[in-house]
């Protein structure tokens, strides 16, 4: 937990990122150089096709450090596919993703996660037949006992146990922070939908991230837990974490994000502060036209 | 409440409180049943009772031990990691054959490498691990049912290759037309083909009692005592070997696999079983874990094969048909995939009751009928039994066919378990994958010693 | 954009191509080699024989015909395996024993008929157990063969539906693996129930002495083809056309095809109706049973392992053709059959099945949608 604090510190002035001209293709090197540390995530011209369907068609956007950025759009706008391309679940057909100034396009999910970009899933994917504690203990990166030889060799196992005791304490602290410590012994599969979302966020936090990508974190969550979840997100933002949320619920995004990106038909339609987005006619149109 | 639940509920709490107690109780119960039954059979047949009882217990202990070993190894793949490997027989074959070829004399037919047996065993485990590592490559990208087909196909490929006369090494003269010795960089060897191959040792425990010239001091005492009790020396050596397997190797497997399971490594395995994408999204390179698990599990399967099929002095490829794999799977499913104690319990229940039980029951039925009606009439085939319209002849045919009916029974048990109790006897237990008690929040102190 | 496109394309080529390219090279080499062998020429480089040799054209033709015959049986049986795999979402390891069921039930019926129509001097008990040696041929007892063919289908369907009712139906929603394991249980129980009645012995069932056979002339020799092989080919091909007609022309067939072709669609439309499932079992089980009857007609011998030994080959064919595709199963089966026989040009017969299994594993690894995957069957 405490390790995570040395993530990015300051959010920088909320200048909306310039739209990237599609024609100007400066190549990997320059793009990487141009990405300032205050912009941990930069997506450029991302494209992804499934068979004949183009799910993402040249999406470009940026996320500022220490902010909560919302990614919205009608059904089928390509939000989840974008997410999956960023986190390595899908390999994009074109375009590039930069994290902390380095290109991460096409890296595998574990490589991306180990760089500090950790995600959650739309339908909370709990490890159902593992207890909440096991779920939490899984997440910390580079555990000594993940090496087989350390896990079984008598002398080396003592170091593993020592580290496990430290992690156990961190896990309990995080569970208390998220107020799910009373569920610690439960199988994750027995948790309610909202509790799972809390667990998933808590678990992602244990993975020592710099930035968190949350895929519809509020779907199916009751208002009380939703409030709790939002509080945690705001606390964490203040500690320096960066968030990118995919959300369906427009109001939620408008009220809680500093910056909003609207996707439509695989493309970024608009990007700006909630106020700017609200006044954007194209957005209104997309939402009305999109939800047929 | 299903039959399985009721059976489990009937087990006294005393045994359920502690795993050692549970396994010991199960073994004790099995021994009592088999002891009484074989004593009765010996009495009916006027045979030596001590010899019969010890022989029966030794043979059932052996089977329990080998099925427990292999179920434990499989539990690492299927129970922990969710890798549906149904190529176990193939990996056992690789272990046994690698050991036999490494240890066989270069002048034997088929020729081998002539290494000392311990070196051959270690070499065989390394070879099995490498083959396992190669078999893991499909596991990196395939769904469980595709992996099942790939692994069973691989195990058949291994068996067919071992069975082929092309590599048999039975014709060692390079000038001869049927020359079939494998020659790799000047090292020559053969598999024996369909005729099979000699393994280095038959009755490995004999070395404790016998030397090449006579008996060891222990041998003099034990053989003497056995002789006085009317127990044959082969029963003594078989029994000793079975005991070594059960107390030595099963315990060692159990400890090793518990350590693997109760560690951060085991936690990642469990996560792969539950949802691999989650594990990957949390930064775990699951492919590495899968390869390691395949290598270790396959080596353990190879060793299981060596300790089992390698102990008869002779083996042939048809020993390693897929049915062996299904036996081991059934043992694990009966006990409860995911639990190491369940694997041992499953091995014991499977060997004692599903595999050997029907034969024992048939023996008892024959003996009882003998007492009641004289010997049972024996029908040469189903038709003759059917048209005899005689219930005793039907019974006789049933008893004679018990070797086949056993499979029908096994199949029915598998279906029953899948429909009603897919978790097996002990699969419902919570076994936490961590090296420490996670509920215990003591930061320092004696928490560090809670190893198992 | 262009740059990164090229980049990712290059990556994909590196990852996916080598194996495909290598496989293509190997197949290409084998074909050239085969051509050279047939022409009787050799190509030597620095004293090493690169390719060629000498193989009689008629020998290769025999391999192809043998392979076609085995392939038709594999394809016929594969139709059911492929359909149940995609509609019920599990690999049915009992499918091989459905073939055995068909072989035994069909020949049981054929023998009963033959006992009546032929002048058999064997005791009835032997006939009942299909143990009277080498009794029936299409010439001496065509009616027995015809009734056996029908009975193999009908009785197998009855067994298959019964097993579905007591085993699979209660666990429709349990997922692929429990169903797969249960099907292994079914396979064992069914096989050894057959053994309980008929025993483990291998028996010769067809009378081969008097059946007509033609020698088809080929360039440098001839390929023999007998009446039983012709019967198998005609029956198998007609049944395949029958299935084709059923799937294309009937409403139920169209629904089944849609489900088998497109699993997602099946999921969208909800759990497949019991009616579709039942029809699937009827078609698949019936074809498997008839396939068992036909392979015995051609081989002349029958034992309890016949279906189990074919099962992995059938899986190979189904996977090669793409799971869910009926035509893929047929095509894949024929390819596997011919490939396993044709492989004898290069390798000892001990390895014919090894080749088939290796092809299956390679296809699963590099083209899990099957060779014909992506080609719509409609």
Residue range A67-123, pLDDT digits in tens: 889 888 887 788 888 888 888 888 888 888 888 888 888 888 999 999 889 998 877
Instruction: Scan for tokens 């080529």, then name that residue.
Output: C13
Contacts of B270 in chain A (CB under 8 A): 127, 129-130, 134
Strands A68-72, A259-264: pairing kind: parallel
Given a contact cutoff of 8 angstroms between Cβ atoms, the answer to whether B431 and B260 are in contact is: no
In this structure, what token pair is assigned to residue A71? Answer: 């990614």
pLDDT-above-70 percentage for chain A: 85
CA distance A263 to A286: 9
pLDDT-above-90 percentage for chain A: 5
When pLDDT is cut at 50, 70 and 90, the band that residue C267 belongs to is low
Given a contact cutoff of 8 angstroms between Cβ atoms, the answer to whether C107 and C292 are in contact is: no
Q: How far is C376 from chain A (nearest CA, A)?
A: 14
Q: Which residues pair with B198 in a beta bridge?
A: B314
Q: How far is A123 from chain C (nearest CA, A)?
A: 18
First to last CA, chain C: 38
Q: Would you say residue A8 has pLDDT above 50?
A: no
pLDDT tens for B295-345 read 999 999 999 999 999 888 889 999 999 999 999 999 999 988 888 899 999
Out of A191-195, B45-49, C40-44, C290-294, the most confident range is C290-294
Identify the closest residue of chain C to A92 by CA–CA distance. Answer: C8
Identify the closest residue of chain B to C189 by CA–CA distance. Answer: B408
Looking at B286-401, list the stretches that DSSP marks H as alpha helix, in order from N- to C-terminal side. Answer: 286-308, 322-335, 340-349, 357-373, 382-388, 391-400
pLDDT tens for C187-231 read 999 999 999 999 888 888 888 777 888 888 888 888 888 888 889
Q: Which residues pair with C281 in a beta bridge?
A: none
Q: Would you say residue A6 has pLDDT above 80?
A: no
With CB atoms and an 8 Å threshold, state whether B405 touches C167.
no
- pLDDT, position C15: 53
Nearest by CB: A125 against B275, B296, B441: B275
With CB atoms and an 8 Å threshold, state whether A151 touches B285.
no
When pLDDT is cut at 50, 70 and 90, the band that residue A275 belongs to is confident
- In terms of Cα–Cα distance, which of C218, C249, C253, C213 is closest to C230? C213
Given a contact cutoff of 8 angstroms between Cβ atoms, the answer to whether A279 and A273 are in contact is: no
Given a contact cutoff of 8 angstroms between Cβ atoms, the answer to whether C113 and C148 are in contact is: yes
CA distance B200 to B108: 12
A66: left (phi over 0), alpha (psi -120 to 50) or beta: left
pTM, entire model: 0.87
- Which chains have at least 3 CB atom pairs separated by less than 8 Å from chain C? A, B
With CB atoms and an 8 Å threshold, state whether A130 touches B433.
yes
pLDDT tens for C97-107 read 999 999 999 99
Nearest by CB: C5 against A22, A28, A94: A94
Q: Would you say residue C8 has pLDDT above 70?
A: no
With CB atoms and an 8 Å threshold, state whether C196 touches B404.
yes
Q: Which residues pair with A70 in a beta bridge?
A: A245, A260
Contacts of C8 in chain A (CB under 8 A): 91-94, 105-106
Q: Which residues pair with A47 in a beta bridge?
A: A57, A94
DSSP conformation class of C373: T
Nearest by CB: B448 against A127, A133, A161: A161
With CB atoms and an 8 Å threshold, state whether A27 touches C3.
yes
Interface of A with B in 102-161 (CB under 8 A): 108-111, 113-114, 118-119, 121, 125-131, 133-134, 137-139, 141, 143-148, 150-152, 157-158, 160-161
- pLDDT, position C274: 78
Q: What is the mean pLDDT of chain C?
A: 83
Q: Would you say residue A7 has pLDDT above 70?
A: no
Instruction: Scan for tokens 């048990």, then name that residue.
Output: B413
With CB atoms and an 8 Å threshold, state whether B146 touches C368.
yes
- pLDDT, position A271: 84
- Contact status of A85 with chain B (Cβ, < 8 Å): no
CA angle C330–B151–B419, rounded 5-degree value: 85
- In terms of Cα–Cα distance, which of B249, B251, B248, B235 is closest to B203? B235
- Residue-wise burial string across C143-170, b where 16 or more C-beta atoms lie within 10 A, e elsewhere: ebbebbbbbbbbbbbbbbeebbeebbee
Identify the closest residue of chain C to B409 by CA–CA distance. Answer: C189
Instruction: Scan for tokens 């009277």, then name that residue.
Output: C132
Tally the residues of chain A. 292
Q: Would you say residue A144 has pLDDT above 60?
A: yes
With CB atoms and an 8 Å threshold, state whether A106 touches C1.
no
Domains and CATH numbers, chain A: 37-126+207-292 (3.40.50.300), 128-190 (no CATH)
pLDDT tens for C335-371 read 999 988 888 888 888 888 888 888 888 888 777 777 6
When pLDDT is cut at 50, 70 and 90, the band that residue C374 belongs to is very low
- Contact status of C5 with chain A (Cβ, < 8 Å): yes
When pLDDT is cut at 50, 70 and 90, the band that residue C3 belongs to is very low
Distances (CA, A) of C118 to B12, B93, C121, C137, C350: 66, 49, 9, 11, 39
pLDDT tens for C80-96 read 999 888 888 888 999 99
Contacts of A207 in chain B (CB under 8 A): 282-283
CA distance A128 to A124: 10
With CB atoms and an 8 Å threshold, state whether A165 touches B277.
no
Each of the 452 residues of chain B gets a pLDDT tens digit; together they read: 566 677 777 777 777 778 888 889 899 999 999 999 999 998 888 888 888 899 899 999 999 999 999 999 999 999 899 888 999 999 999 999 999 999 988 888 888 888 898 999 999 999 999 999 988 887 787 777 788 888 999 999 999 999 988 888 888 777 877 788 888 887 888 888 888 898 888 778 888 888 888 888 888 888 888 888 888 888 888 898 999 999 999 999 999 999 999 999 999 999 999 888 899 999 999 999 999 999 999 999 999 999 999 888 889 999 999 999 999 999 999 988 888 899 999 999 999 999 999 999 998 998 888 888 888 888 888 888 888 888 888 888 898 899 999 999 999 999 998 998 888 887 666 678 888 888 777 654 444 444 43
- In terms of Cα–Cα distance, which of A284, A246, A250, A239 is closest to A10? A239
We find that the CATH architecture of domain B3-355+422-449 is Orthogonal Bundle (1.10)
The DSSP H or E segment spanning C224 is strand C221-226
Nearest by CB: C8 against A25, A58, A93: A93
- Residue-wise burial string across B83-116, b where 16 or more C-beta atoms lie within 10 A, e elsewhere: bbbbbbbbbbbbbbbbbbbbbbeeebbbbbbebe
With CB atoms and an 8 Å threshold, state whether B145 touches C176.
yes
With CB atoms and an 8 Å threshold, state whether C181 touches B418.
yes
With CB atoms and an 8 Å threshold, state whether C1 touches A27.
no
Instruction: Scan for tokens 């602290």, then name that residue.
Output: A173
Q: How far is C132 from chain B (nearest CA, A)?
A: 13
Residue A224 neighbours by CB under 8 Å, 6+ apart: none
Interface of B with A in 421-450 (CB under 8 A): 430, 432-436, 438-444, 447-448
With CB atoms and an 8 Å threshold, state whether A184 touches B438.
yes
First to last CA, chain A: 44
- pLDDT, position B428: 66
Q: How far is B101 from chain A (nearest CA, A)?
A: 29
- Contact status of B6 with chain A (Cβ, < 8 Å): no
Contacts of B430 in chain A (CB under 8 A): 131, 187
């Amino acid at each position: 937990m405490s390790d995570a604090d040395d993530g990015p510190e300051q959010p920088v002035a909320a200048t909306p990122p310039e739209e990237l001209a599609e024609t100007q293709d400066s190549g990997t090197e320059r793009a990487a150089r141009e990405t300032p540390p205050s912009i941990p995530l930069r997506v450029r011209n991302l494209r992804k096709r499934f068979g004949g369907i183009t799910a993402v068609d040249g999406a470009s956007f940026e996320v500022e450090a220490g902010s909560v950025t919302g990614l919205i759009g009608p059904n089928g706008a390509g939000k989840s596919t974008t997410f999956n391309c960023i986190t390595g679940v899908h390999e994009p057909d074109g375009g590039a993703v930069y994290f902390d100034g380095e290109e991460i396009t096409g890296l595998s999910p574990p490589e991306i996660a180990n760089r500090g970009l950790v995600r959650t899933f739309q339908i909370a994917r709990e490890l159902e037949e593992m207890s909440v504690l096991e779920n939490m203990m899984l997440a910390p990166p580079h555990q000594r006992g993940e090496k087989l030889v350390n896990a079984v060799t008598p002398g080396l196992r003592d170091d593993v146990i020592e580290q496990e005791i430290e992690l156990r304490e961190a896990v309990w602290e995080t569970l208390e922070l998220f107020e799910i410590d009373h569920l610690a012994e439960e199988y994750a599969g027995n948790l309610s939908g909202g509790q799972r979302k809390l667990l998933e966020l808590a678990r992602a936090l244990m993975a020592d991230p710099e930035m968190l990508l949350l895929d519809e974190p509020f779907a199916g969550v009751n208002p009380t837990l939703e409030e709790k979840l939002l509080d945690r997100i705001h606390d964490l933002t203040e500690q320096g974490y960066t968030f990118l949320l995919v959300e369906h619920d427009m109001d939620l995004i408008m009220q809680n994000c500093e910056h909003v990106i609207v996707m439509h038909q695989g493309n970024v339609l608009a990007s700006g502060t909630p106020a700017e987005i609200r006044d954007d006619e194209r957005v209104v149109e997309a939402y009305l036209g999109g939800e047929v | 409440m299903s039959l399985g639940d009721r059976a489990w509920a009937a087990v006294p709490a005393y045994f359920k409180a502690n795993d050692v107690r549970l396994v010991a109780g199960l073994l004790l119960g099995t021994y009592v049943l088999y002891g009484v039954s074989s004593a009765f059979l010996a009495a009916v047949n006027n045979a030596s009772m001590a010899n019969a009882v010890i022989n029966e217990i030794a043979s059932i202990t052996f089977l329990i031990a080998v099925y427990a070993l292999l179920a434990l190894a499989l539990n690492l793949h299927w129970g922990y990691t969710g890798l549906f490997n149904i190529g176990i027989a193939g990996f056992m074959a690789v272990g046994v054959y690698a050991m036999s070829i490494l240890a066989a004399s270069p002048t034997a037919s088929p020729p081998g490498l002539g290494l000392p047996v311990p070196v051959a065993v270690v070499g065989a485990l390394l070879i099995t691990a490498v083959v396992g590592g190669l078999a893991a490559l499909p596991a990196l990208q395939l769904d469980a049912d595709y992996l099942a087909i790939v692994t069973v196909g691989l195990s058949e490929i291994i068996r067919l290759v071992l069975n082929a006369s092309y590599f048999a090494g039975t014709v060692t003269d390079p000038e001869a037309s049927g020359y079939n010795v494998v020659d790799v960089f000047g090292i020559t060897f053969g598999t024996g083909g369909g005729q099979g191959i000699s393994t280095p040792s038959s009755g490995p425990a004999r070395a404790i009692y016998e030397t090449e010239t006579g008996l060891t001091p222990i041998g003099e005492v034990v053989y003497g005592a056995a002789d006085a009790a009317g127990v044959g020396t082969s029963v003594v050596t078989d029994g000793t070997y079975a005991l070594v397997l059960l107390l030595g190797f099963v315990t060692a497997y159990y400890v090793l696999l518990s350590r693997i399971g109760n560690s951060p490594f085991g936690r990642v395995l469990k996560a792969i079983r539950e949802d691999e994408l989650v594990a990957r999204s949390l930064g775990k390179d699951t492919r590495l874990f899968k390869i390691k698990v395949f290598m270790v599990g396959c080596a353990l399967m190879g060793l299981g094969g060596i300790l089992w099929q390698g102990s008869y002095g002779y083996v042939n490829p048809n020993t390693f048909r897929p049915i062996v794999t299904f036996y081991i799977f059934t043992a694990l499913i009966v006990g409860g995939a995911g639990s190491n104690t369940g694997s041992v319990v499953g091995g014991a229940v499977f060997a004692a009751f599903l595999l050997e039980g029907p034969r024992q029951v048939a023996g008892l039925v024959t003996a009882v009928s003998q007492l009641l009606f004289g010997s049972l009439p024996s029908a040469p085939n189903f038709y003759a039994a059917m048209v005899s319209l005689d219930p005793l002849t039907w019974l006789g045919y049933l008893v004679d066919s018990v070797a086949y009916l056993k499979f029908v029974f096994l199949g029915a048990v598998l279906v029953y378990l899948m429909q009603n109790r897919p978790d097996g006897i002990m699969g419902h237990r919570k076994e936490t994958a961590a090296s420490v008690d996670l509920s215990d929040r003591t930061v320092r102190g004696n928490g560090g010693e809670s190893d198992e | 954009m262009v740059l990164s496109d090229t980049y990712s394309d290059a990556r994909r080529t590196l990852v996916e191509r080598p194996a495909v390219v290598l496989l293509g090279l190997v197949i290409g080499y084998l074909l050239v080699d085969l051509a050279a062998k047939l022409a009787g020429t050799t190509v030597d480089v620095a004293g090493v024989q690169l390719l060629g040799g000498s193989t009689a054209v008629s020998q290769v033709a025999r391999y192809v015909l043998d392979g076609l015959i085995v392939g038709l049986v594999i394809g016929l049986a594969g139709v059911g395996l492929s359909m149940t795999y995609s509609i019920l979402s599990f690999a049915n390891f009992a499918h091989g024993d459905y073939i055995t069921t068909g072989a035994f039930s069909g020949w049981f019926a054929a023998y009963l008929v033959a006992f009546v129509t032929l002048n058999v001097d064997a005791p009835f008990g032997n006939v009942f157990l299909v143990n009277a040696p080498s009794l029936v041929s299409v010439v001496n007892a065509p009616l027995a063969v015809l009734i056996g063919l029908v009975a193999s289908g009908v009785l197998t369907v009855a067994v298959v539906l019964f097993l579905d009712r007591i085993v699979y139906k209660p666990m429709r929603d349990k997922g692929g693996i429990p169903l797969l394991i249960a099907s292994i249980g079914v396979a064992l129980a069914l096989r050894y129930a057959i053994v309980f009645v008929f025993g483990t012995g291998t028996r010769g069932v067809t009378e081969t002495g008097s059946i007509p056979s033609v020698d088809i002339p080929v360039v440098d020799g001839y390929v023999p083809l007998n009446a039983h092989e012709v019967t198998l080919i005609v029956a198998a091909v007609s049944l395949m056309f029958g299935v084709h007609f059923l799937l294309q022309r009937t409403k139920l067939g169209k629904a089944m095809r849609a489900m088998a072709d497109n699993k997602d669609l099946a999921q969208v439309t909800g759990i497949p109706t019991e009616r579709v499932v039942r029809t699937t079992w009827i078609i698949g089980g019936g074809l498997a049973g008839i396939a068992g009857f036909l392979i015995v007609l051609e081989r002349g011998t029958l034992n309890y392992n016949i279906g189990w030994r074919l099962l992995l080959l059938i899986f190979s064919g189904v996977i090669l053709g793409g799971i869910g595709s009926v035509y893929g199963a047929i095509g894949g089966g024929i390819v596997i059959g011919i490939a396993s026989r044709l492989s004898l040009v290069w390798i000892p017969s001990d390895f014919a099945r090894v080749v088939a299994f290796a092809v299956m594993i390679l296809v699963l690894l590099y083209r899990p949608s099957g060779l014909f995957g992506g080609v719509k069957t409609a």
